[in-house]
Chains A and B, each alone.
Chain A
Amino acid sequence: MAPQLSFAWFAWRNLWRRRLRTLLTLCGIGMAIGAFVALVGFSRSFEQEWLKLYESSGTDIAVVQKTFFNTSVDESAGTKLRSLPVVARATPMILNMMDITPEINALTYGWKADSYELDSLTFKSGRRFRDGQPELILGDLLASNLNKTAGDTLTIQGANFTVTGVYHGGSALEASAVILPLDQLQQIASLQGKVTAFHVRLRPAPAGDSAQHYLETAEAQIEAALPDLRAVPAAERASNNQLVTMAHAAAWGTSSIALLMGILGIANTMAMSVFERTREIGILRALGWRRWKVLLLIQTEAAVLGLAGGILGLAFGWGAMRVLSRLPQTASIVSAAFPPILLLEALGAAILAGLIAGAIPAWRGAHLSPVEALRHD
């Protein structure tokens, strides 16, 4: 059968003519998309882990100060909170990031021994900690990284704690976390009487009331009773807390710079390619190709470069996320899960980068005079 020439094949053959240049450009856009996938994937994964954290424990609302990082909520507010009719359980907690060893830092939670959130953890060995005792429990991933088991001793901030259990949690944020009695964490962090937030489990919604309406009613009741605090639905808390917002901003900021570099790489390649093929473009015009068709050919080449680089970048990014999810330094805040939407976004960003990069060279190529182009050496 006679070989058939398609538009896409023609574009690919043009790219493949300068293999080294094409491959280097692919590496450039691949690295850019890889950075996008890894960073945005990292921040998305971080957000997802937050959501899982609340979902697995059954927390409906977090009651916090207006600023996230402050551990400045008065623990005594719990009494008033628990007295509200909509509140079934309200448990105080501290969230902090601590250096466990010089190499490993981990999310550190301070919980009460009777916190309902402990019920969501599955103990692989040992038991829960007790209030008032220098005891703690470790997530299974952190325990593995620290090589600790139940019965071992762990020193945090100069104080010795007995590891009473190793648990498995529903979120990577728990799997690489350390949880110790609230009073013990308050003591070593000099935060007596203060907590980061109250996690609230609501009573079941009355019959006929929608979940959303009930949640809004509960928020209003809590904020009316405790006007200095904010009642934030768990889902919003997961996606809109300052840590996640910062992670998203850093991820998008850094990947935008990487993408810009990738765009410049493709633009350079396409500009060189159009210059080198000036006469060929003249021939295409002489053979009856319209301007838009020439433009389409060059833009197709740029988009193919972007798409191929995007696929390469997905592989880079996926590899990077796998590595990050295993590194002790980052395992606590990222999982290797690869959201499908990220795949589409990455490929979309790659193709868009190609089209942006190819726009000017394509316009130049399409507007070459056929006669001038044919004279070009």
Chain B
Amino acid sequence: MTNSAQAVPILEVRELCKSYDEGRIEALRGVDLTITAGEFVAISGPSGSGKSTLLQLIGGLDTPTSGQVLFQNSLLGTAVDLDTYRSHHVGFIFQGFYLMPTLRAIENVQVPMLASNGHAKDRAQRAEALLVEMGLGNRLRQYPNELSGGERQRVAIARALANSPTILLADEPTGNLDSANSARILTMLVDLQKRRGMTLIVVTHENDIANAAPRHIRIRDGRVEGVAP
């Protein structure tokens, strides 16, 4: 990535607050953050710190109680429709993989592509290419329960990439994996981010991932506690 490309903000978070239970629980208390295009950012913090809530708001899964999230200088939920944002610009990876149990690996990767129009054959070819890229070329027809944890997460990553998002959001992507698989998934994500020039935001409590990210944001009690470097 060039310096000029890195300087372009893709996401800006301004005074972001999120509360639940009629204000009794404050998950986020005024977070400000700017993330540039193609950046790899790790967000960490103890349980209940608000890091997953921040990821959900950045990903357009939820709306803030107050404050703003801007994607490419446009306000999410107003100037940018959340459904369009999720289907075209964002890819999600979850700790629990969340694959459809009734679908084969290659069919799972096609699910996001069903959100928009296109030919079934093209969808299948793209899904196959993504799974091959994830090293799962021989596991296309397997159902999730026939795959190992690491393989499932690689299918989930392929699914997240299905609509060619500009931002990849991962919530504890290695939380359910052993150390060997965790390392492989981390390497894969970093490699993807570099090769594709994607913005990668990972919520984690694991030091290995946090240390691998050029920028590491620590959250505590709904506030940004520190940013490294």
B102 A288 Cβ-Cβ under 8 A:
no
Asked, given contacts A3-B141, A13-B103, whether A286 binds B59 with beta carbons under 8 Å apart, the answer is yes
B123 A4 Cβ-Cβ under 8 A:
yes
Q: Determine whether A55 belongs to the interface, using a CB cutoff of 8 Å to chain B.
A: no
Q: Determine whether B115 belongs to the interface, using a CB cutoff of 8 Å to chain A.
A: yes
Contacts of B116 in A (CB 8 A): 288
B83 A5 Cβ-Cβ under 8 A:
no
Contacts of A13 in B (CB 8 A): 102-103
The 8 A CB mask of B96-130 against A (1 = contact, 0 = none) is 00101111101100111011100011011101100
B111 A10 Cβ-Cβ under 8 A:
yes
Contacts of A371 in B (CB 8 A): 56, 61-62
Q: Determine whether B159 belongs to the interface, using a CB cutoff of 8 Å to chain A.
A: yes
Asked, given contacts A10-B103, A14-B102, A16-B102, whether A4 binds B110 with beta carbons under 8 Å apart, the answer is yes
Contacts of A14 in B (CB 8 A): 102
Contacts of A285 in B (CB 8 A): 61, 83, 86
Q: Determine whether B40 belongs to the interface, using a CB cutoff of 8 Å to chain A.
A: no
Stretch of A276-284, A317-325, A330-338 at the chain-chain interface: A276-284
**How far does the Cβ of B181 sit from chain A's closest Cβ, in whole Å?**
21
Contacts of A280 in B (CB 8 A): 98, 100
The 8 A CB mask of B129-154 against A (1 = contact, 0 = none) is 00000000000110000000000000
- A5 vs B141: C-alpha distance in the bound complex, in angstroms? 12
CB closest residue in chain A, given B113: A5
A5 B110 Cβ-Cβ under 8 A:
yes
Q: Determine whether B71 belongs to the interface, using a CB cutoff of 8 Å to chain A.
A: no
Asked, given contacts A285-B86, A288-B115, A371-B61, whether A6 binds B98 with beta carbons under 8 Å apart, the answer is no
Contacts of A7 in B (CB 8 A): 114
Q: Determine whether A369 belongs to the interface, using a CB cutoff of 8 Å to chain B.
A: yes
- A115 vs B115: C-alpha distance in the bound complex, in angstroms? 72
Q: Determine whether B194 belongs to the interface, using a CB cutoff of 8 Å to chain A.
A: no
Chain A residues bordering chain B, tally (CB within 8 A)? 28
Q: Determine whether A293 belongs to the interface, using a CB cutoff of 8 Å to chain B.
A: yes
B87 A287 Cβ-Cβ under 8 A:
yes
A17 B102 Cβ-Cβ under 8 A:
yes
**Chain B contacts with A in 39-82, Cβ cutoff 8 A:** 56, 59, 61-62
The 8 A CB mask of A277-320 against B (1 = contact, 0 = none) is 00110011111111101000000000000000000000000000
- A285 vs B85: C-alpha distance in the bound complex, in angstroms? 11
Q: Determine whether A2 belongs to the interface, using a CB cutoff of 8 Å to chain B.
A: yes
- A290 vs B116: C-alpha distance in the bound complex, in angstroms? 9
**Chain A contacts with B in 136-161, Cβ cutoff 8 A:** none
**Chain B contacts with A in 148-178, Cβ cutoff 8 A:** 159, 163
Instruction: Count chain B CB atoms within 10 A of each CB in A1, A286, A369 and give the residue with the most.
Output: A286
Contacts of A290 in B (CB 8 A): 83, 87, 115
Asked, given contacts A288-B163, A370-B61, whether A3 binds B124 with beta carbons under 8 Å apart, the answer is yes
- A6 vs B103: C-alpha distance in the bound complex, in angstroms? 11
Question: Which B residues are within 8 Å of any A CB, using their own CB?
Answer: 56, 59, 61-62, 83-84, 86-88, 90, 92, 94, 98, 100-104, 106-107, 110-112, 114-116, 120-121, 123-125, 127-128, 140-141, 159, 163
Question: Which A residues are within 8 Å of any B CB, using their own CB?
Answer: 1-7, 10, 13-14, 16-17, 279-280, 283-291, 293, 369-371, 374
